[in-house]
Amino acid sequence: MEEIYKVLPEILTQKIKNIGSNTGISEIRLRVNKNCIVITSSIEIVLEYIVSLKDILDILIKVSKNSIYSIQNDINNGFIVINGGHRIGICGEAVVLDGNIKNIKNINSLNIRVAHQIIGCADKILTQIIEDGIFYNTLIVSPPGCGKTTLLRDIIRQISNGVDYLKLKGLNVGLVDERGEIASVCNGICNLDVGLRTDVMSNISKSKGIEMITRSMGVNVIATDEIGTTDDVKAINYAVCSGVSLIFTAHGNSIKDISLKEGFDKLLENNIFRNLIILSNKNGPGTIEKMYKLNNDDKLKNVS
C-alpha cells in the first residue's frame, strides 16, 4: 500500500489508513465530484472525501513523475502499472483515429487495484489438475472479481517450482501477461511470485504472446488470463499442436457461457482442456462452484 499512498492526496491517504483494514483493501475507486470508495475483501466503504478533478490530475502527475507524456501509451491502453505492481485503471473521453485509441482526455475516474497474492490458494485443487506427476490442461471460468487471476497465479507458481508430494517436477512456464496483472509487472520486473521457472511476456496481445513464447522459449506450459477472442482460440490450437500444455482463465458463469463463444465449443468438443474449474463469489472470492473432468467417453464429469 505504501506505493499507492505516495501518489494519493495526503488527506485521502490518512482517511484510508483510518479504516484500519489496509491489508484487506482490493480497490480504491476515485470519481470526480463523488465520494472515494474503498473496497476490501468483505465490504465497500464510502469515505467522507469528495474527489476533485485536481486530485485526479495530481495523481497522474505523481505517477508519471511530472511527465504525462512518458505514460501516454499506458493511458491509451486504459491503465498504468506503478511500483509494487498496483494497477490504475483510467476512464475518460477516448480520442479514436482509424479505429485505434490515440488518447484518453478529460480523465474523470481512476480505479486503483491493489496487487496481492494468496500463497497456497491453489492447494485445494492441485490433486485434480496434477495426476501421476503430470499437469493436465486446465481452464478456470468465473465472472469478474471472483478470484480467477489469484488462483491462476498460484497454480503457475506451484507448477513452476514443482510439487514434490504430487511428484511434479518444476515446469518451464510461459506467462503471457497482457496487462501486467498476473505477475504485477512494472518496468519489466515481476512484483509477485510466479515461480522459479516462469518466463513473462507482457504488454502484448494474448494471441501474439502465446505464439511467440511457444516458438521461442521452449516452455512446457503456456499460461494467460481472460482468453475469449477468435485469435486466442487460433493461438491455443497452435500451442496444442506444438505439444505445449495450457492453463488459462475465461469470463463466464458456467460451461454453457463459454461454449457460446465463437471457437470455444470446438475446444471443448476436442477435449483441449481436461479440467474445467468454475468459480464464484458465493463464499468470498475463489469459491469453487464446480470442477469438471473429461471422461474417456468424452463427456464432462462433475468431480467437485
Please give the chain's pLDDT, 304 residues, in tens.
888 999 999 999 999 998 876 558 889 999 999 999 998 877 899 999 999 999 999 998 998 887 777 777 777 778 888 877 788 999 988 888 777 777 788 889 999 988 778 899 999 999 999 999 999 999 999 988 788 989 999 999 999 999 999 999 999 999 999 878 889 887 788 888 999 999 999 888 899 999 999 999 999 999 999 888 889 989 999 999 999 999 999 988 888 888 888 788 888 878 889 999 999 888 877 889 889 887 544 444 555 5
Which pTM value belongs to this model? 0.81
219-236 burial by CB neighbour count: b if 16+ within 10 A, else e? bbbbbbbbbbeebbbebb
Q: How many residues does the chain have?
A: 304
Contact of 67 with 52, CB cutoff 8 Å: no
13, amino acid identity: T
User: 2-113 sits in which CATH class?
Assistant: alpha beta
**Among candidate residues 89, 86, 112, 64, the one with its CA nearest the CA of residue 191:** 86
User: 123-302 sits in which CATH class?
Assistant: alpha beta
Please say whether the dihedral angle defined by the alpha carbons of residues 181, 186, 189 and 191, taken in this order, is positive or negative. Answer: negative
Cα 187 from Cα 195, distance rounded (Å) = 19
Contact of 175 with 156, CB cutoff 8 Å: yes
Note the pLDDT tens digit of each residue in 10-28. Answer: 999 999 998 876 558 889 9
- Pairing assessment for the beta strands 185-186 and 189-190 based on DSSP bridges: antiparallel
The C-alpha R_g of the chain, in whole angstroms, comes to 20
pLDDT at 298 (0 to 100)? 41
Q: Structural domain boundaries of the chain? A: 2-113, 123-302
